[in-house]
Amino acid sequence: MTTNPDLLKPDLKMHGIKNLWFMIKFPIFTKEYLDSNSKYPQPGIIACLKIKEFVDKDGRRIITINTEKPWAVETIDGIYQFDILPNQLTEI
């Protein structure tokens, strides 16, 4: 019998930063049942608050988000505020 992993380590590519690693329990990341036989990577979401929007030096629209609320999600380095591109944000 295969069991669900306790934690996932999602890899999120952020604007202007190398990949960031989050350590979160999968039920808040995806509704899918995941186990050691699942194919990875899997799509998922992390709830966040939109802090501000700006245009960077290359003319791209950037959104600053904070993942501390509502789910208290941070990177394995303790970071919870990031700049992302608009196509990385899904409003729900």
Q: Judge whether 33 lies within some domain.
A: yes
Q: Which pLDDT band, with edges at 50, 70 and 90, does 57 fall under?
A: very high
Q: Judge whether 18 lies within some domain.
A: yes
Average pLDDT across the chain, whole number: 79
Question: Which structural domain, as residue segments, surrounds residue 83?
Answer: 11-88
Is the separation of the CB atoms in 42 and 22 below 8 Å? no
Q: Judge whether 28 lies within some domain.
A: yes
Q: Judge whether 4 lies within some domain.
A: no
Q: What are the tens digits of pLDDT across the range 7-37?
A: 555 556 555 656 666 666 556 777 888 788 8
- Residue type for position 33: Y
Number of domains in the chain: 1
Q: Judge whether 36 lies within some domain.
A: yes
The proportion of the chain whose per-residue pLDDT surpasses 70, expressed as a percent, equals 71
pTM above 0.85, yes or no: no
Q: Judge whether 39 lies within some domain.
A: yes
Q: Judge whether 44 lies within some domain.
A: yes
Identify the sign of the CA torsion 57, 59, 60, 62.
positive
Reduced 3-state DSSP string for 29-62: CCCCCCCCCCCCCCCCCCCCEEEEEEECCCCCEE
Q: Judge whether 5 lies within some domain.
A: no
